Amino acid sequence: MTDVRIAGVGLTPFGRQSDRTGRDLFAEAALAAREEAGAPRDDFEAVHYGNFMGALAERQGHQGPLVAEAAGLDAPATRHESACASSGVAVREAVRGIRSGDHDVVLAGGMERMTNLDTAAVTESLAIAADELFEVRAGMTFPGAYALMARAYFEEFGGTREDLAHVAAKNHANAVENEYAQYRREVSVAEALDSPPVADPLHLMDSCPITDGASAVVLVSDEYAEEKGIDAPVAVSGTGQGGDKFALQDRKWLNRTPAAADAADEAYDDAEIGASDVDVAEVHDCFTIAEVLALEGLGLYGHGEAIGAARRGETTRDGRLPVNLSGGLKAKGHPVGATGCAQVAEMTRVLRGDHPNSDAVPDACVGVTHNAGGTVASAVVHVLEVRG
Alpha-carbon distance of 194 to 184, in angstroms, equals: 19
Residue 156 neighbours by CB under 8 Å, 6+ apart: 255, 304
First CA to last CA across the chain, in angstroms?
17
State residue 86 phi and psi, 5-degree precision: -60, -50
Strand order in the sheet with 105-112: 77-80, 46-50, 105-112, 213-221, 4-11, 234-243, 378-386, 366-373, 280-282
Instruction: Please confirm whether the linkage preceding 233 is cis (ω < 30° from 0).
Output: no
Contact 287, 245 (CB under 8 A): no
Q: Which residues are catalytic?
A: 84, 334
Contact 82, 112 (CB under 8 A): no
Contact 341, 50 (CB under 8 A): yes
Alpha-carbon distance of 272 to 311, in angstroms, equals: 31
Per-residue DSSP letter, 242: E
